[in-house]
Structure 1
């Protein structure tokens, strides 16, 4: 015999089922149904973006192929007999260096180096050491920089070790390459007729100190170069521009925190070529060296001309 308790449990079950149905209908299920159209729109939007990206990528590849073909036509013989010291920032990769050195060799230059700068040359952590080292380096400099900061003194010292034949320059080189805390690795034994400063040829610098501003928890934070790293980059640009030989910097200027963009924004007098790590960047860098040009070349932020002058 079915008793009252059985009827009560059945009624509760019916009401629970109705309640669940109402909640789902007004909430998740309703949202899922209403989102069908928007999902289709999102898929179409993503497809459009993918097509645009593919087209831009194809155009970029075509531009690099054109730069490679142009290099084959105009570079050979333009730097024959020249010794070019390739100085590499710590965030540059071996691939970035290979692209630059290949273009120099194509022009007939002898590549000295690569002369690798360590993290200690530009990092925040090594600031105290740089301040300590700058004093003895300054006493051996042939030419004192207008800026007496440690970054400027050390950058000037580096340039003199690469371009000046003197006992004092050799002493500076020994201090910069000290095994305990080296700022520079593998200085060449021959003097340079030209200097090429190679920064990262990637979209986001890696291996250098950076600071973030904005939302701490994964928001749209703005990445910027740490002040001492930025100062180090600018000091290198000034010292290379003041060298007794022709000099150029090559790297990226796609965003404001990248090496070439920082030099350009600071008004550095050094010739610059953007799109480092690519045939176009290498072509402009070598052309700037060969022609003695001092402009800003490429297609990224701050560039004033697409192509450096032909020698």
Structure 2
């Protein structure tokens, strides 16, 4: 008769057999397994070092390219925009810091070309939010100087009306005085958090460079991206415009994809680089001269840089 002691002995024998099997199996596999793992660790370490070396080489090459672009900039730009007043517009977004860096680089290149930056307007995300439409319209109505209010768009589009107002007070022909009440308009939008201002804005700009980053994202992304294009279109009606983007996406893509705007607004899609910053200013020289082009390394670009061009006062 099988009793409890028999079961205990049987279970003990099973566990003992399993333990012996594990020991024997581990001992048999330990050598090849350990060797294989060591080989994999060594390979991963080598791959990581190779990636690190490749990254360092890429950084070194980018720095050399930037140094080269900065060195040739005076040869390409000096005197090309002497006496020209230029406005910079920065579109705020998730990559605002990178857009700011690109704007600083473009500003330096404009100085090399002899241009004067009359000021920088940072268009805040609040500006392109659909919920801001009514307030934008109210501000346009209450702050517009009498000489401009009658010429503003009559449609109930806050972005379009405000963009038309800002373009009217910020952009004008060479030698014309600042629109009376311009500072009041700018201050009204700044006070409500729609724009940030940097500069004296004492004279109208003859041309505009718009610095743009990644396209808007989220549930209202389509409306925001459309607002950025509307802003560009309204400034294009007032003067010569170049859109300089960090990449070929976002506003650059929107302009290039709109046949009517692409005919009168030039674009550069690599403004994050020194090459792109040189190209942006060269494109502005070309634009003031009456020609439009699309430059950079992304879709829709015809070449890396515009052909050299010259602009004389009054052109």
TM-score class, shorter-chain normalisation, is 0.7 to 0.9
Matches within 5 A, 1:21-60: 60=62
Shifted more, 189-198 versus 158-167: the winner is 158-167
3-state DSSP of counterpart to 1:302: coil
TM-score normalised to the size of structure 1? 0.72
CA 1:115–1:100: 2 relative to 1, 3 Å: same
Rounded to whole Å, the distance in 2 between the matches of 1:144 and 1:168 is 15
Matches within 5 A, 1:165-204: 165-167=178-180, 172-177=185-190, 179-186=191-198, 188-200=201-213
CA 1:38–1:286: 2 relative to 1, 3 Å: same
Please list every run of 5 or more consecutive structure 1 residues that lacks an aligned counterpart in the other structure.
Answer: 213-224
CA 1:172–1:251: 2 relative to 1, 3 Å: same
In the TM superposition, what whole-angstrom CA distance separates every residue of 1:77-136 from its partner, at most 9, and x where no partner exists? 1111111111111133332221011000011111122222222112x3xx2223332266
Q: Would you say 1:104 and 2:110 are equivalent positions?
A: yes
- Name the structure 1 match of 2:233: 238
Q: Would you say 1:156 and 2:159 are equivalent positions?
A: no
In the TM superposition, what whole-angstrom CA distance separates every residue of 1:236-266 from its partner, at most 9, and x where no partner exists? 22123222x3221112225x4x332333234
In the TM superposition, what whole-angstrom CA distance separates every residue of 1:119-174 from its partner, at most 9, and x where no partner exists? 2112x3xx222333226627845645698633222222221121154447566435
In the TM superposition, what whole-angstrom CA distance separates every residue of 1:181-233 from its partner, at most 9, and x where no partner exists? 43343572221122111123xxxx4xx75138xxxxxxxxxxxx811220122
Higher helix share: 2
Residue among 293, 296, 300 paired with 2:294: 296
CA 1:10–1:305: 2 relative to 1, 3 Å: same
3-state DSSP of counterpart to 1:80: coil
- Name the structure 2 match of 1:252: 246
**Residues matched between the structures, number:** 282
Rounded to whole Å, the distance in 2 between the matches of 1:89 and 1:130 is 18
CA 1:146–1:96: 2 relative to 1, 3 Å: farther
CA 1:144–1:252: 2 relative to 1, 3 Å: same
Are the counterparts in 1 of residues 132 and 158 from structure 2 also a CA contact under 8 Å?
Answer: no
TM-score normalised to the size of structure 2? 0.71
Rounded to whole Å, the distance in 1 between the matches of 2:222 and 2:82 is 39
CA RMSD of aligned residues (A): 4.0
Residue among 281, 285, 291 paired with 1:286: 281
Structure with max Cα Rg: 2
Q: Would you say 1:11 and 2:13 are equivalent positions?
A: yes
Matches within 5 A, 1:259-274: 259-267=251-259, 268-269=261-262, 270-274=265-269
